[in-house]
Structure formats: structure tokens, C-alpha cells
Amino acid sequence: MRKLLIISVMIVTLIFCLLTGCSSDSEENGSSSGGKAVSYTLATDDCDTPDTGQGVLIAFDENNDVVWTFKTGEFPYTELVQKAEDIGIHNGMYYVAADALYAVDLETGKEVWKNDEYIGAYSSYDFDPDGNMYACGYYGPPLAMITPDGDLKYYYKTLSIDGYDPEDFYHPYYIEYVNDNKVIIQFEGNNTTVEADPHTGVAFVQSDSSASGTYTDEEICKIASDTYYKLNGERPPLVAVDSSDGNIVTVRLYEDMSDHIATWAWYELNLNDMTGKDTVTGKTFDLVY
């Protein structure tokens, strides 16, 4: 009789679980809701060791419940590393710079990879379409490249450029991936802009012409024509400079149909950063030059 009673209780319990859904009290990765993360916040916690901090990345679901929590290693509060830095979401991962550079899985909060070869404050960073990260630090290095797998492809502590003292290239404050042939870095130390090969990191100081965009009309028309060809797979028969305001130039790409002029596009070229915009569609793009 007692055995029959126990079996009956088990059956009732099983039916109740099937109808209502039973869950374990255990939580994985700090999740309290089991939902999908829709927002993230990065904070810095003080550690037991004086003047030491730790980055804490917290993911929340749509109900603002914690889905997971990720903690970096500890780092000293110094002039060079003052806090954990939020680099944000790239390549489907969350990037955090602290005692090392971390890539964190968005779904689980687990560490995907960690690179502790480049430690310090990131003054600027950018990504190319393949997910490679280009970074510079206010206190060095002036240029580093980290692959999507977290490998440090190159790391230049100083830049060796003919005619320049390497010690003059200090306090880089801005880096930008421009295209497959160029990354630019701007330095506060000697007020220069440096161009570097994204694949090798080999660098040179921009000449006056490339820095200021002092091109002839013929060169400007060629840039516009080559850019249109790359974007559309065909080349307009005629290109002409319509107007200019310093290094901002408006170009007309067109075809002479004998009885009328057929305009292919109006381009606004920014010769400072070598970008363009189709003034009709509003589409922006890098120039081919």
C-alpha cells in the first residue's frame, strides 16, 4: 500500500511538471532569466588589492534580468590603465580591454580568446571588413593589428620612417582603417598623419598632396571614374569637376547623348579623408586612388 502511494505521488509530480514546467535552482553564467542578452554594460569593480580594479561585463535580457556576467583579470589603477575599456561588439563578439584584450561570446558570456601581448590604454581603434582590429595607444604602441582569432599580427613600439626621429611619433590619438591599402594614424607629438599598409604595418608620413588633397582636375576625374567603375562595374564616358570648396569637390559623371546630357551620378569627393558620397542616393564610399 505504501509503495502504491509513493508511485501515485511521483506520477502527480510528473504531471505537474509537464503542465507548469519545473526548473532547477542552479544558474549558469549568472543567468537569472535564461533569456537572450539584448543589452550590455561594462563597469569597473575595486579589488581587495589597493589601487587595483577588475572589469565586469554584464548582459541583460529584455526584462532587464541578468543573463550572464564576465569578469576580466585584475589590473592596477595607473596613469596608463585607469579602467576597463568598452570596445563594443564586433565579429559577433564583445571586446573588452583591461589587463588584456578579451573577446567574449555574446550568447554565453564565455571567453572566446584573450590576448595579453598588448596591454595598456587604447587611445583609438578601428576594424576592417574582415574583422581585423587596428589599434594605437596614447603611451604606445603607435600601431598594432589583432586578427579576428585574437592573434597579434604586428606590433610596432616605434615607427621607423626615413627622415624622421622615431621618438617624435608619440601620443597617437586617432587611427582609421581607410581601405585595403591604407590605415591612417594621427599623432599629437609631431602633429603628423601617418599612412600604413594594413597588411604589414609599414608606414610613411603623408605628403602634402595626399594630406591636403591637392589634386589636379584630371586626377580628381580619374579618381571619380575609377571609384564609379569599382562600385558599378562600368565606367561613365565623361567626368568633369563642377565645383569645389577647399578639399570638398563636386564631380559630375555623365554621357553626351548628342541631343541631351545623361547624368550617371553626382559625386561629392572629400579629399581630406578620401571618401565620397553620391549626392542623389546618399550612399557613401571610399575613393579609389
> Residue 170's closest CA among 195, 202, 138, 123?
138
Alpha-carbon span 92 to 109, nearest angstrom = 12
Between 3 and 102, residue with greater pLDDT: 102
Alpha-carbon span 84 to 189, nearest angstrom = 25
The answer to whether residue 22 is domain-embedded is no
The answer to whether residue 16 is domain-embedded is no
The answer to whether residue 12 is domain-embedded is no
Q: What is the CATH number of the domain that holds 180?
A: 2.40.10.500
**Residues with Cβ < 8 Å from 255, sequence gap 6 or more?**
236, 237, 238, 261, 262, 264
40 shares its domain with 105: yes
Q: Are 56 and 43 in contact (CB under 8 A)?
A: yes
44 shares its domain with 87: yes
pLDDT in tens, 79-111: 555 677 888 999 889 999 888 899 999 999 999
Q: What dihedral do alpha carbons 236, 240, 243, 248 form, nearest 10°?
A: 60
101 shares its domain with 175: no
Residue 126 has a pLDDT of: 92
232 shares its domain with 247: yes
Flag whether the pTM goes above 0.75.
no
Full residue range of the structural domain in which residue 242 is found: 213-286
Site of grid cell 582590429: 133
What pLDDT band is residue 42 in, cutting at 50, 70 and 90? confident
* 278 residue type, one letter: D
200 shares its domain with 223: no
For 94-103, 150-159, 163-172, which range has the lowest pLDDT when averaged over its residues?
163-172
Residue 81 has a pLDDT of: 54
Domain count of the chain? Answer: 3
Q: What is the CATH number of the domain that holds 244?
A: 3.10.450.170
Q: State which of 140, 175, 206 marks the end of a domain.
A: 206
217 shares its domain with 173: no
The answer to whether residue 249 is domain-embedded is yes
195 shares its domain with 230: no
